[in-house]
């Protein structure tokens, strides 16, 4: 009897995490989607990225002002014109074409604001996350494709922004926490863009909140906040200690309710001294 051999199925690809780590990519899934020229939406913990044929065409994040805010905050586009384009957008007419064809917006202004919003939201969407991303094939964004951006360019810019923020002030706590002012005996001079941010620091707003109020990209606001933190002018708000917890803490340390305790160290000052010594 003649035995007929069968061709074994191909081995499933194995993800090489060590190689991906050495490559410096931000999101291995995003890199694979770019390689296969995928179209759809990548949903991550802090935002979403829309792809068309492997390129990023739009990005959104709850931590970044949307394109509507960037366009309408300073009069580049009337808010009613934006809403009208959104309402009329469908499968035949994308909102970007409605804005341009109606003469409501110059092509250069739309492209510039769109790229600003895209890179801003992508920075947050590509932040390290605790949950895996999910990709939905075929999903497109109602805005249309204003200016597709290669995935490599988005990842490169995200890494550059991370590095810049770390150089300014290495503690990321101020990026998402409620911010409060720090009383200083001799406050340094503040640049105008930082001054507008500082004026809105009152213990009830985060950096993304301030960005929306100012109509600025959130990353630009993070830069200002970290510079203010490095100067010792702002810090994450310290949650109030409940009275019961304070009493228990005093009881545990043996300090009387009206007794004195050593002053808490100035953590911000210690970090600045540390960074200065490391730079020598």
**Tens of pLDDT along 32-51?**
999 999 999 999 999 999 99
**Tens of pLDDT along 218-265?**
999 999 999 999 999 999 998 776 655 555 445 555 444 444 444 445
Of 178, 172, 195, give the one whose Cα is nearest residue 271.
172
The pLDDT score that the predictor gives to residue 20 is 42
Contact 23, 15 (CB under 8 A): no
pLDDT greater than 50 at residue 15: no
Handedness of CA 261, 267, 268, 269 (dihedral sign): positive
Range of weakest confidence among 52-61, 70-79, 147-156, 194-203? 70-79
**Tens of pLDDT along 175-191?**
999 999 998 777 778 88
Please give the class, per CATH, of domain 172-239+269-279: mainly alpha
Per DSSP, the three-state class of 52 is strand
**Tens of pLDDT along 106-130?**
889 999 999 999 999 999 999 998 8
Residue 91, both tokens: 């499968």
CA dihedral 216, 24, 165, 69 (to 10 degrees): 10
For the entire predicted model, the pTM comes to 0.76
Where along the chain do its domains lie? 27-167, 172-239+269-279
53: left (phi > 0), else alpha (psi -120 to 50), else beta? left
Distance CA(177)–CA(207), nearest Å, equals: 8
**Arithmetic mean of pLDDT over the chain:** 82
DSSP state of 44: E
The pLDDT score that the predictor gives to residue 156 is 97
Contact 48, 35 (CB under 8 A): no
Handedness of CA 264, 269, 272, 273 (dihedral sign): negative
List the beta strands (DSSP E) in the chain: 40-44, 47-52, 55-60, 134-137, 149-150, 179-181, 234-236
Section 197-213 average pLDDT? 96
Report angle CA 268, 124, 59 to the nearest 5 degrees. 155
């Amino acid at each position: 009897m003649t035995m007929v051999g069968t061709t074994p199925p191909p081995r499933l690809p194995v993800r090489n995490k060590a190689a991906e780590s050495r490559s410096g990519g931000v999101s291995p899934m995003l890199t694979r989607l770019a390689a296969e020229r995928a179209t759809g939406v990548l949903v991550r913990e802090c935002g979403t990225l829309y792809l068309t044929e492997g390129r990023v065409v739009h990005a959104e994040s709850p931590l970044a002002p949307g394109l509507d805010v960037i366009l309408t905050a300073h009069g580049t586009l009337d808010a009613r014109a934006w809403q009208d384009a959104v309402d009329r957008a469908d499968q035949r007419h994308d909102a970007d074409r409605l804005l341009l064809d109606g003469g409501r917006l110059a092509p250069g202004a739309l492209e510039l604001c769109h790229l600003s919003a895209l890179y801003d939201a992508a920075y947050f969407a590509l932040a390290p996350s605790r949950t895996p991303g999910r990709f939905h094939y075929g999903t497109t964004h109602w805005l249309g494709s204003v200016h597709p951006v290669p995935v490599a360019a988005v990842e490169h810019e995200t890494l550059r922004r991370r590095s810049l923020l770390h150089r300014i002030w290495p503690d990321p706590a101020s990026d998402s926490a409620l911010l409060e002012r720090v009383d200083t005996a001799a406050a340094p001079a503040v640049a105008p863009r930082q001054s507008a941010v500082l004026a809105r620091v009152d213990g009830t707003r985060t950096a993304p909140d301030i960005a929306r109020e100012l109509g600025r990209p959130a990353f630009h606001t993070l830069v200002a906040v970290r510079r203010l933190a490095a100067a010792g002018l702002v810090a994450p708000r310290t949650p109030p200690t409940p009275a019961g917890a304070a009493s228990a803490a005093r009881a545990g340390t043996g300090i009387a309710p009206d007794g004195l305790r050593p002053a808490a160290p100035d953590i911000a000052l210690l970090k600045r001294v540390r960074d200065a010594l490391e730079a020598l």
